[in-house]
Chain A
């Protein structure tokens, strides 16, 4: 009798089906047509997309943040923080709003690919009103950089592990999405607005990386929580942590730290630089 390994090899190498040209072309035509149809009618399916998004509790927090951003920072002025803190949270919101640029590190756990879980995987983001640069790290190695510029409507991606790059024009939808980032929990300003808008309480003071901070903890309607620590002296966020449960199963966490506020990004290497030996994708 053949050994098991030989049966494995036979199945692996000899059990192969090939699509005939007619089948190949017919299915490809349908696949392309389906994509085309989907792209052109995407707007009509907005309610479905919304339902899909709302399944994710972390994204729900983000949606709430967008709503808050629309209502305007002015409302924040009237929100109490439930404590007699040295931090005036309305001033924090103003400081963050007025900061021309910010650099921060972010990461998370509970991602589909554990290799990208914090702290093995993380991102460093440079962000101003229209321009963002994000460096993606895995195991201490930077493997991707993405530049977006909502003014020039361009996005440039550098794949450092493949020494390739891709440069594309941004669609209006992508520009809109990039501009809306400031209203999302993935953005420090969005997270701050969100924490202040939800039911929250003071966490007191603690020292983080040598900086005396005060914190608040906000809880979303689905039990997701956000904790934000602000420097007492500076009035700027120092650390943000969020936690959520997706469909009652997977625990997601997100962290933002190593903030640098009030940065002039034009002097910080945010301009896209494509290394000479990188080839187009």
Chain B
């Protein structure tokens, strides 16, 4: 947390090094969040790229307070929603997922273990609000208060969505993944 405070301060002062460190620190978690929300590796890459590009350009307006991971996760969610809206307009329905990588390799854009792939596919089957609540809580560490704000709903509703999401995942994944 303190490390983030220092990074934010240096970034605000224009440090390239701080920007790179923030990118290194959060690239994979934001990619995980985007992929979980979109169920589409290519779109997740585009979203995460847009988020970091916008972040790099936000130096002057960027506020020093608040959590960095929360800020980036919120940006990912908003970009994902924009992306889905655009897709719906383009094809009149949710875009079909492109592909997950079959086997992890150094040249592949997005690398997932087999287990991660299975989990991502299961999460991808959750209704959108439940998917957001589960991923924002477990992968971005957002508080339910912040999830509720982002979903423009009450804390209780955000909690219920999270609970229902986990129940569904439990029935989908029972026996398929090892802890």
User: Is chain A's binding surface mostly helix, strand, loop or mixed?
Assistant: helix
Partner of B19, one of A19, A32, A42, A166: A32
CB-defined A-B contacts under 8 Å, sample of 25: A1-B170, A2-B170, A2-B173, A7-B170, A12-B139, A15-B123, A17-B35, A17-B111, A17-B116, A18-B110, A19-B110, A20-B108, A20-B111, A22-B109, A24-B27, A30-B53, A31-B23, A31-B53, A31-B55, A32-B56, A35-B16, A35-B57, A49-B60, A112-B65, A112-B66
Q: How far is the CA of A266 from the CA of B115 in the complex (A)?
A: 64
Chain A residues engaging chain B, CB cutoff 8 angstroms: 1-2, 4, 6-12, 14-24, 27-28, 30-32, 34-35, 38-39, 42, 49, 52, 111-113, 116, 157, 159, 161-162, 164, 166, 168, 171, 281
Chain B residues engaging chain A, CB cutoff 8 angstroms: 2, 5-6, 9-10, 13-14, 16, 19-20, 23, 27-28, 31-32, 35-36, 44-45, 48-49, 52-53, 55-57, 59-61, 63, 65-66, 104-113, 115-116, 119-120, 123, 134, 138-139, 163, 166-167, 169-171, 173-174, 177, 179
Q: Which residues of A contact B173 (CB under 8 A)?
A: 2, 7, 10
Q: Which residues of B contact A27 (CB under 8 A)?
A: 23, 27, 45, 48-49, 52
CB distance from A170 to the nearest CB of B (A): 10
A30/B16 in contact, CB under 8 A: no
B6/A168 in contact, CB under 8 A: no
Q: Which residues of A contact B59 (CB under 8 A)?
A: 35, 38-39
